[in-house]
Amino acid sequence: MNIFAKLGHDIVRLWSEYAGLYLSGVWNTVSLAVLCTAVGCIIGLLCGVLNTIPFTNNDNIFKRILLRAIRIINQIYVEVFRGTPMILQAVVIYYGLPYFTNYALRFSNVWLCAFVVVSVNTGAYMSESVRGGIISIDPGQTEGAKAIGMTHWQTMTNVILPQALRNILPQIGNNLIINIKDTSVMSIIGFTEFFAIHKSIAGTTYQYFPSAAIEMVGYLSLTLIASFLLRMWEKKMDGAGSYELVQVDSLTMTAGTYSHPKRGSNYDEQSKEFRGRVKQSLKFGRNRGER
Amino acid sequence: MEEKILNIKHLSKSFGSHEVLRDIDFSVAKGDVISIIGASGSGKSTLLRCINLLETPTRGEIWYRDENVADRKVKPHEYRSHVGMVFQSFNLFNNMSVLKNCMIGQMKVLGRSREEAKRIAMDYLQKVGMAPYINAKPRQISGGQKQRVAIARALAMNPEVLLFDEPTSALDPEMVGEVLMVMQQLAQEGMTMLVVTHEMAFARDVSSRVVYMNEGVICEQGSPEEIFGNPQKQETKDFLARFRNA
């Protein structure tokens, strides 16, 4: 028990001294992850859509060559960025750019470099997810849309993508959570996200384990919150499980044409006579006495 | 003087080396209700899908009014908005409510305003008896109801011809009636319709012309009385005999 008390004591001391630093790291991590996931999704969506434009041998030659070229370029992009570690991509881009351009071109800002690397990386993964999402939609949906005269673009934006997006939402969630954790490799180029903060604090205080414990709890809370929010979003997109029948109300047409009988007249619902008649008719039926 | 809407000349379609349609000649006048019958694989559905350009014809011409739409220069989506289609598998948009399904085409393709689209959609939904279900999603309603919505969706585009590709084949027997009833009503109102069907009673009672297809060619066509009462070709007799015995 003693050891846990000591750990608690150490954590509290670390936190009270460096809370601001840790929180700034959390902010950097979360903002980078969320932004990069969003931008990565847009890149992936674009690639996925361009990749699935249909063409037949009847189309003219330029269209066919262009679409084929797009598919090949996309394939290369996906394979390169999916097939190499992100940590290396960061290093190659951050140090490679000035190396090749003789320092004419370089990232003046580490954040910007990290942003580019993580976004492009996420885009490569999302491109394949979006493509999968699109081809998973029943071809009948496309035919239905085409049959009422929609163009390919209208079909995509109104019918296919909303459904595909719902199907790949779990994949977007996956990517967000992966990004929250994997942005930690951006410390290699000196980006001060959550994990980089741990390294610098542990380096000055030699409190490796207590600081790592704080990081553990921090990362886990972030990813739990992320997955909770994504579940909520999924539920919202699914919409209501039930629907309401709309009763076609034939009386709406006659609204305003009915005027209430004068107070005290025999047809006034408040009058004694009218109430008596209603009571009688409920009891014995409407035709009583008229036979 | 009857007004020709569609005129199909020498239409052929091959999938690879397999020739599904061979030299089809065929025309549709305004107000025609044409039933296309025939065994499975005889090319009925392919003919319908060629007319809507969902399949590109290999050879031949499809004249819509005075335009050859089989020509590659013609943009298919403009032509398709004049020719409605109802599918065997409904193909309602799963991400939209019943009402939105009937509005989206009007708004995006015909450029109608939201209010106008809604009014027209409601008119047709009322006609097919689906007005109470406008808030439902396609997954929440039955097959017969889906097909009725699909008919309303096609009608809302004010097409000149309506193509039905086996509209009742995917339905449970007790739901076939409600769809056929809607179609019969449309026929009586003078809608031009092309119906690929296995419902012989419908073909006999509702259509103005019956086309029997066999192995990719139009084997015999004529009025329902001629085809069902006094078929000329042996293939037609055999086909109808199989139905009578069933």
For residue A247, name the pLDDT band (cuts at 50, 70, 90). low
Q: What is the mean pLDDT of residues A126-151?
A: 93
Burial of B168 (0-12, 13-18, 19+ CB in 10 A): buried
Q: Is B146 near chain A, with CB under 8 Å?
A: no
Q: Which of A56, A140, A246 sits opposite B89 (nearest CB)?
A: A140
- DSSP letter string, chain A: -HHHHHHHHHHHHHHHHHHHHHHHHHHHHHHHHHHHHHHHHHHHHHHHHHHT----TTS-HHHHHHHHHHHHHHHHHHHHHHHS-HHHHHHHHHHHHHHHTTTSS--S-HHHHHHHHHHHHHHHHHHHHHHHHHHTS-HHHHHHHHHTT--HHHHIIIIIHHHHHHHHHHHHHHHHHHHHHHGGGGGGGT---HHHHHHHHHHHH--HHHHHHHHHHHHHHHHHHHHHHHHHHHHHHH--SS-------GGGGGTT---PPPTTSTT-TTSHHHHHHHHHHHHH-TTTT--
What's the pLDDT tens digit per position in A169-201?
Answer: 999 999 999 999 999 999 999 899 999 999 999
Q: Is B15 near chain A, with CB under 8 Å?
A: no
Q: How far is A158 from chain B (nearest CA, A)?
A: 8
For residue A253, name the pLDDT band (cuts at 50, 70, 90). very low
Q: What is the mean pLDDT of residues A39-50?
A: 93
Q: What is the mean pLDDT of residues A102-118?
A: 87
- Given a cut of 50, the residues of chain B with pLDDT beneath it are 1
Q: What is the CATH architecture of A3-239? A: Orthogonal Bundle (1.10)
Q: Which residues of B touch A242 (CB under 8 A)?
A: 140
Q: Are A225 and A33 in contact (CB under 8 A)?
A: no
pLDDT of residue A262: 64
Q: What's the pTM value of the predicted model, to 2 decimals?
A: 0.80
Task: For B155, name the nearest residue in chain A, comparing CA atoms only.
Answer: A148
Query: SS in 3 state form for A246-284?
Result: CCCCHHHHHCCCCCCCCCCCCCCCCCHHHHHHHHHHHHH
CATH 1.10.3720.10 domain locations along chain A: 3-239
For residue A255, name the pLDDT band (cuts at 50, 70, 90). very low
Q: How far is A245 from chain B (nearest CA, A)?
A: 5
